[in-house]
Amino acid sequence: MDWTERLVQIRKDIERLARFPTVHEILVNYLQVAYEHLENCQPYCNALLTAFEAVVSYELWHHKAMTKLAGSQELQIRYLVPLGVEMRTALMKLVQKLERISAYSPDEIVVRELLKAHCYYQLGELEATVNCLEEAVRHGATHPLIYFILGYNRHRFALTEYARWEPVGQQLVVTDKEAFERLLRQALEDFRNGLSYSGREPLDARLHFWMGMVHEMLGEQNEAINSYQKAREIDPEAYGEEVQQRLKHLQATGAEKSQHRQPSSLPAELQEETAPFKPISETELESFRKAISEIETVSDLLKRMGGLSKGKESLEEEN
Protein backbone atom coordinates (compact mmCIF):
# COMPACT_ATOMS: atom_id res chain seq x y z
CA MET A 1 0.00 0.00 0.00
CA ASP A 2 1.12 3.56 -0.64
CA TRP A 3 1.20 6.38 1.94
CA THR A 4 -2.43 7.46 1.40
CA GLU A 5 -3.78 3.92 1.55
CA ARG A 6 -1.89 3.25 4.77
CA LEU A 7 -3.27 6.45 6.30
CA VAL A 8 -6.80 5.34 5.41
CA GLN A 9 -6.17 1.94 7.01
CA ILE A 10 -4.90 3.57 10.23
CA ARG A 11 -8.05 5.67 10.44
CA LYS A 12 -10.20 2.56 9.98
CA ASP A 13 -8.21 0.72 12.66
CA ILE A 14 -8.73 3.60 15.12
CA GLU A 15 -12.47 3.43 14.41
CA ARG A 16 -12.36 -0.33 14.99
CA LEU A 17 -10.47 0.19 18.25
CA ALA A 18 -13.19 2.56 19.46
CA ARG A 19 -15.72 -0.30 19.36
CA PHE A 20 -13.99 -2.36 22.07
CA PRO A 21 -15.80 -2.01 25.43
CA THR A 22 -12.50 -1.77 27.33
CA VAL A 23 -11.30 1.29 25.36
CA HIS A 24 -11.63 4.72 26.96
CA GLU A 25 -12.73 7.56 24.72
CA ILE A 26 -9.64 9.55 25.71
CA LEU A 27 -7.35 6.95 24.09
CA VAL A 28 -9.33 7.07 20.84
CA ASN A 29 -9.37 10.88 20.81
CA TYR A 30 -5.65 10.98 21.63
CA LEU A 31 -4.82 8.74 18.67
CA GLN A 32 -7.06 10.87 16.46
CA VAL A 33 -5.15 14.01 17.47
CA ALA A 34 -1.85 12.29 16.67
CA TYR A 35 -3.33 11.07 13.38
CA GLU A 36 -4.23 14.64 12.36
CA HIS A 37 -0.58 15.62 12.76
CA LEU A 38 0.49 12.49 10.86
CA GLU A 39 -1.65 13.59 7.91
CA ASN A 40 0.45 16.77 7.72
CA CYS A 41 3.71 14.84 7.49
CA GLN A 42 5.49 14.25 4.19
CA PRO A 43 5.10 10.84 2.49
CA TYR A 44 8.77 10.05 3.01
CA CYS A 45 8.24 9.55 6.78
CA ASN A 46 7.83 5.79 6.39
CA ALA A 47 9.45 4.96 9.74
CA LEU A 48 6.99 7.21 11.56
CA LEU A 49 4.03 5.79 9.64
CA THR A 50 5.17 2.25 10.44
CA ALA A 51 5.53 3.15 14.13
CA PHE A 52 1.99 4.59 14.17
CA GLU A 53 0.68 1.39 12.58
CA ALA A 54 2.52 -0.63 15.23
CA VAL A 55 1.03 1.39 18.12
CA VAL A 56 -2.51 1.04 16.77
CA SER A 57 -1.95 -2.68 16.11
CA TYR A 58 -0.69 -3.08 19.67
CA GLU A 59 -3.81 -1.39 21.07
CA LEU A 60 -6.09 -3.58 18.95
CA TRP A 61 -4.32 -6.68 20.28
CA HIS A 62 -4.28 -5.30 23.84
CA HIS A 63 -8.01 -4.54 23.96
CA LYS A 64 -9.03 -7.68 22.13
CA ALA A 65 -7.24 -9.65 24.86
CA MET A 66 -8.67 -7.51 27.68
CA THR A 67 -12.21 -7.77 26.29
CA LYS A 68 -11.88 -11.54 26.04
CA LEU A 69 -10.54 -11.77 29.59
CA ALA A 70 -13.28 -9.56 31.02
CA GLY A 71 -15.99 -11.72 29.47
CA SER A 72 -14.43 -15.12 30.07
CA GLN A 73 -16.46 -17.63 32.06
CA GLU A 74 -13.44 -19.85 32.73
CA LEU A 75 -10.74 -17.30 33.32
CA GLN A 76 -7.35 -18.67 34.34
CA ILE A 77 -5.71 -16.05 36.54
CA ARG A 78 -2.28 -17.59 36.05
CA TYR A 79 -2.33 -16.53 32.40
CA LEU A 80 -2.58 -12.83 33.22
CA VAL A 81 0.96 -12.14 34.41
CA PRO A 82 2.53 -13.72 31.27
CA LEU A 83 0.08 -11.69 29.16
CA GLY A 84 1.02 -8.51 30.99
CA VAL A 85 4.72 -9.25 30.59
CA GLU A 86 4.21 -9.91 26.88
CA MET A 87 2.39 -6.59 26.51
CA ARG A 88 5.13 -4.78 28.42
CA THR A 89 7.82 -6.35 26.23
CA ALA A 90 5.97 -5.24 23.09
CA LEU A 91 5.71 -1.69 24.41
CA MET A 92 9.40 -1.58 25.29
CA LYS A 93 10.31 -2.62 21.77
CA LEU A 94 7.95 0.01 20.34
CA VAL A 95 9.37 2.83 22.41
CA GLN A 96 12.94 1.79 21.55
CA LYS A 97 12.07 2.02 17.84
CA LEU A 98 10.41 5.41 18.36
CA GLU A 99 13.50 6.73 20.14
CA ARG A 100 15.56 5.91 17.03
CA ILE A 101 13.26 7.69 14.56
CA SER A 102 14.59 11.00 13.26
CA ALA A 103 11.94 13.72 13.03
CA TYR A 104 12.50 17.11 11.39
CA SER A 105 9.26 19.02 10.84
CA PRO A 106 7.08 20.13 13.80
CA ASP A 107 4.35 17.64 12.85
CA GLU A 108 6.83 14.77 12.67
CA ILE A 109 8.16 15.63 16.11
CA VAL A 110 4.63 15.90 17.52
CA VAL A 111 3.64 12.47 16.18
CA ARG A 112 6.81 10.81 17.46
CA GLU A 113 6.52 12.38 20.91
CA LEU A 114 2.81 11.60 21.28
CA LEU A 115 3.43 7.96 20.38
CA LYS A 116 6.35 7.79 22.81
CA ALA A 117 4.25 9.41 25.54
CA HIS A 118 1.54 6.81 25.03
CA CYS A 119 4.01 3.92 25.31
CA TYR A 120 5.72 5.38 28.38
CA TYR A 121 2.35 5.97 30.03
CA GLN A 122 1.34 2.36 29.49
CA LEU A 123 4.67 1.31 30.99
CA GLY A 124 4.07 3.46 34.09
CA GLU A 125 7.00 5.78 33.28
CA LEU A 126 5.27 9.02 34.22
CA GLU A 127 8.27 11.35 34.14
CA ALA A 128 9.15 10.21 30.61
CA THR A 129 5.48 10.59 29.65
CA VAL A 130 5.44 14.19 30.86
CA ASN A 131 8.72 14.97 29.07
CA CYS A 132 7.38 13.65 25.75
CA LEU A 133 4.11 15.55 26.09
CA GLU A 134 5.99 18.77 26.87
CA GLU A 135 8.09 18.28 23.74
CA ALA A 136 4.96 17.68 21.67
CA VAL A 137 3.37 20.87 23.00
CA ARG A 138 6.51 22.86 22.23
CA HIS A 139 6.25 21.77 18.60
CA GLY A 140 2.58 22.55 18.11
CA ALA A 141 0.44 19.92 19.86
CA THR A 142 -1.96 22.51 21.26
CA HIS A 143 -5.18 20.50 21.17
CA PRO A 144 -7.05 20.89 24.50
CA LEU A 145 -6.94 17.12 25.01
CA ILE A 146 -3.13 17.15 24.99
CA TYR A 147 -3.09 19.85 27.67
CA PHE A 148 -5.53 17.80 29.74
CA ILE A 149 -3.42 14.65 29.41
CA LEU A 150 -0.26 16.59 30.28
CA GLY A 151 -1.89 18.02 33.41
CA TYR A 152 -3.29 14.64 34.36
CA ASN A 153 0.13 13.00 34.11
CA ARG A 154 1.80 15.78 36.12
CA HIS A 155 -0.74 15.31 38.91
CA ARG A 156 -0.32 11.52 38.80
CA PHE A 157 3.47 11.91 38.88
CA ALA A 158 3.14 14.14 41.96
CA LEU A 159 1.04 11.48 43.69
CA THR A 160 3.32 8.57 42.89
CA GLU A 161 6.68 10.28 43.48
CA TYR A 162 6.05 12.76 46.27
CA ALA A 163 3.19 11.30 48.28
CA ARG A 164 2.02 7.98 49.67
CA TRP A 165 -1.36 6.64 50.69
CA GLU A 166 -1.71 5.69 54.35
CA PRO A 167 -4.43 3.02 54.49
CA VAL A 168 -4.83 3.00 58.27
CA GLY A 169 -5.58 6.68 58.60
CA GLN A 170 -7.00 7.00 55.08
CA GLN A 171 -4.64 9.91 54.50
CA LEU A 172 -2.47 11.08 51.64
CA VAL A 173 0.93 11.81 53.18
CA VAL A 174 3.12 14.22 51.21
CA THR A 175 6.82 13.34 51.38
CA ASP A 176 8.19 16.38 49.49
CA LYS A 177 5.84 19.34 49.85
CA GLU A 178 7.76 21.69 47.55
CA ALA A 179 8.03 19.24 44.65
CA PHE A 180 4.46 18.02 45.17
CA GLU A 181 2.98 21.51 45.04
CA ARG A 182 5.18 22.57 42.11
CA LEU A 183 3.91 19.70 39.97
CA LEU A 184 0.30 20.32 40.96
CA ARG A 185 0.55 24.01 40.06
CA GLN A 186 2.06 23.08 36.71
CA ALA A 187 -0.88 20.71 36.21
CA LEU A 188 -3.28 23.58 36.95
CA GLU A 189 -1.57 25.66 34.28
CA ASP A 190 -1.89 22.80 31.79
CA PHE A 191 -5.60 22.50 32.51
CA ARG A 192 -6.07 26.26 32.07
CA ASN A 193 -4.21 26.16 28.75
CA GLY A 194 -6.67 23.53 27.54
CA LEU A 195 -9.77 25.65 28.17
CA SER A 196 -11.56 26.86 25.05
CA TYR A 197 -12.18 30.50 24.22
CA SER A 198 -15.93 30.02 24.60
CA GLY A 199 -15.54 28.13 27.88
CA ARG A 200 -18.49 25.93 26.92
CA GLU A 201 -16.88 23.03 25.07
CA PRO A 202 -17.43 19.47 26.45
CA LEU A 203 -13.77 19.07 27.46
CA ASP A 204 -13.98 22.31 29.46
CA ALA A 205 -16.12 20.56 32.07
CA ARG A 206 -13.51 17.84 32.52
CA LEU A 207 -10.73 20.44 32.76
CA HIS A 208 -12.59 22.49 35.38
CA PHE A 209 -13.39 19.38 37.42
CA TRP A 210 -9.74 18.35 37.51
CA MET A 211 -8.72 21.88 38.38
CA GLY A 212 -11.11 21.58 41.31
CA MET A 213 -9.53 18.33 42.44
CA VAL A 214 -6.02 19.79 42.26
CA HIS A 215 -7.08 22.95 44.11
CA GLU A 216 -8.66 20.72 46.75
CA MET A 217 -5.43 18.76 47.14
CA LEU A 218 -3.58 22.05 47.57
CA GLY A 219 -6.02 23.08 50.30
CA GLU A 220 -7.45 25.95 48.20
CA GLN A 221 -11.11 25.60 49.09
CA ASN A 222 -12.60 28.63 47.34
CA GLU A 223 -10.78 27.91 44.08
CA ALA A 224 -11.84 24.26 44.26
CA ILE A 225 -15.49 25.21 44.76
CA ASN A 226 -15.42 27.64 41.82
CA SER A 227 -13.88 25.03 39.52
CA TYR A 228 -16.31 22.31 40.57
CA GLN A 229 -19.28 24.64 40.03
CA LYS A 230 -18.06 25.56 36.53
CA ALA A 231 -17.73 21.86 35.64
CA ARG A 232 -21.30 21.21 36.81
CA GLU A 233 -22.62 24.26 34.97
CA ILE A 234 -21.05 23.16 31.67
CA ASP A 235 -21.99 19.47 31.90
CA PRO A 236 -24.48 18.79 34.71
CA GLU A 237 -25.23 15.28 33.45
CA ALA A 238 -21.62 14.10 33.68
CA TYR A 239 -20.49 16.03 36.76
CA GLY A 240 -23.61 17.05 38.66
CA GLU A 241 -23.64 14.23 41.22
CA GLU A 242 -19.89 14.04 41.69
CA VAL A 243 -19.55 17.79 42.09
CA GLN A 244 -22.33 17.75 44.68
CA GLN A 245 -20.40 15.17 46.71
CA ARG A 246 -17.19 17.22 46.53
CA LEU A 247 -18.97 20.43 47.52
CA LYS A 248 -20.65 18.76 50.49
CA HIS A 249 -17.30 17.48 51.69
CA LEU A 250 -15.62 20.87 51.31
CA GLN A 251 -18.41 22.74 53.02
CA ALA A 252 -18.57 20.25 55.88
CA THR A 253 -14.90 19.97 56.66
CA GLY A 254 -13.26 23.07 55.15
CA ALA A 255 -9.82 22.89 53.62
CA GLU A 256 -7.41 20.89 55.77
CA LYS A 257 -4.10 22.66 55.42
CA SER A 258 -1.05 20.88 56.71
CA GLN A 259 2.53 20.57 55.64
CA HIS A 260 2.41 16.79 55.61
CA ARG A 261 -1.25 15.81 55.14
CA GLN A 262 -3.91 16.53 52.57
CA PRO A 263 -7.72 16.22 53.01
CA SER A 264 -8.64 12.77 54.27
CA SER A 265 -11.57 12.39 51.88
CA LEU A 266 -9.99 12.54 48.44
CA PRO A 267 -12.02 11.89 45.29
CA ALA A 268 -12.36 8.16 44.66
CA GLU A 269 -10.24 8.33 41.52
CA LEU A 270 -7.31 9.79 43.43
CA GLN A 271 -7.67 7.27 46.25
CA GLU A 272 -7.55 4.44 43.71
CA GLU A 273 -4.34 5.78 42.19
CA THR A 274 -2.54 6.03 45.51
CA ALA A 275 -3.87 2.89 47.18
CA PRO A 276 -1.57 -0.15 47.11
CA PHE A 277 -2.42 -2.85 44.58
CA LYS A 278 -3.12 -6.39 45.76
CA PRO A 279 -2.87 -9.64 43.78
CA ILE A 280 -6.24 -11.16 42.91
CA SER A 281 -6.78 -14.79 43.83
CA GLU A 282 -8.65 -17.36 41.73
CA THR A 283 -11.58 -17.21 44.16
CA GLU A 284 -12.20 -13.53 43.36
CA LEU A 285 -13.27 -13.91 39.75
CA GLU A 286 -16.12 -11.41 39.85
CA SER A 287 -13.98 -8.83 41.62
CA PHE A 288 -11.31 -9.42 39.04
CA ARG A 289 -13.69 -8.83 36.16
CA LYS A 290 -14.60 -5.48 37.67
CA ALA A 291 -10.91 -4.66 38.12
CA ILE A 292 -10.20 -5.59 34.50
CA SER A 293 -12.73 -3.00 33.35
CA GLU A 294 -10.94 -0.33 35.40
CA ILE A 295 -7.36 -1.14 34.36
CA GLU A 296 -5.93 1.74 32.36
CA THR A 297 -2.36 0.66 31.60
CA VAL A 298 -0.24 -2.46 31.27
CA SER A 299 1.63 -1.26 34.35
CA ASP A 300 -1.69 -1.27 36.26
CA LEU A 301 -2.41 -4.82 35.10
CA LEU A 302 0.92 -6.14 36.32
CA LYS A 303 0.63 -4.31 39.64
CA ARG A 304 -2.85 -5.68 40.28
CA MET A 305 -1.68 -9.19 39.56
CA GLY A 306 1.55 -8.83 41.53
CA GLY A 307 3.68 -9.33 38.41
CA LEU A 308 5.35 -5.97 37.79
CA SER A 309 8.70 -6.96 39.25
CA LYS A 310 8.60 -10.20 37.31
CA GLY A 311 7.96 -8.26 34.12
CA LYS A 312 10.91 -5.98 34.77
CA GLU A 313 13.20 -8.91 35.47
CA SER A 314 12.20 -10.55 32.19
CA LEU A 315 12.99 -7.38 30.28
CA GLU A 316 16.34 -6.97 31.98
CA GLU A 317 17.26 -10.54 31.05
CA GLU A 318 16.20 -9.92 27.46
CA ASN A 319 18.23 -6.72 27.24
**Domains of the chain with CATH codes:** 1-123+277-319 (no CATH), 143-275 (1.25.40.10)
Residue 266 has pLDDT above 60, yes or no: no
Q: b vs e for 42-76, b when ≥16 Cβ sit within 10 Å of the residue's Cβ?
A: eeebebbbebbebbbebbbebbebbbebbeeeebe
Report the predicted TM-score, pTM, of the whole model to 2 decimal places. 0.80
Q: What is the pLDDT of residue 203?
A: 93
Q: What is the pLDDT of residue 297?
A: 59
Q: How many angstroms separate the CA atoms of 161 and 305, rounded?
A: 22
DSSP reduced 3-state for 277: coil
pLDDT (0 to 100) of residue 168: 77
Query: First and final CA of the chain: distance in angstroms?
Result: 33
Give the per-residue pLDDT at 74: 57
Residue 261: strand pairing partners: 173
Residue 22: exposure state from Cβ atoms within 10 A (0-12, 13-18, ≥19): buried
Cα 113 from Cα 128, distance rounded (Å): 10
Give the pLDDT mean for 212-227: 93
Q: Which of 25-34, 97-106, 168-177, 269-278 has the lowest mean pLDDT?
A: 269-278
Query: For position 88, what pLDDT does the model report?
Result: 86
Closest CA to 105 of 188, 190, 45: 45
Spatial distance between the Cα atoms of 135 and 131, rounded to a whole number of angstroms: 6
Cα separation, 114 vs 106, in Å, equals 12
More confident call, 305 vs 210: 210
Distances (CA, A) of 168 to 48, 259, 304: 48, 19, 20
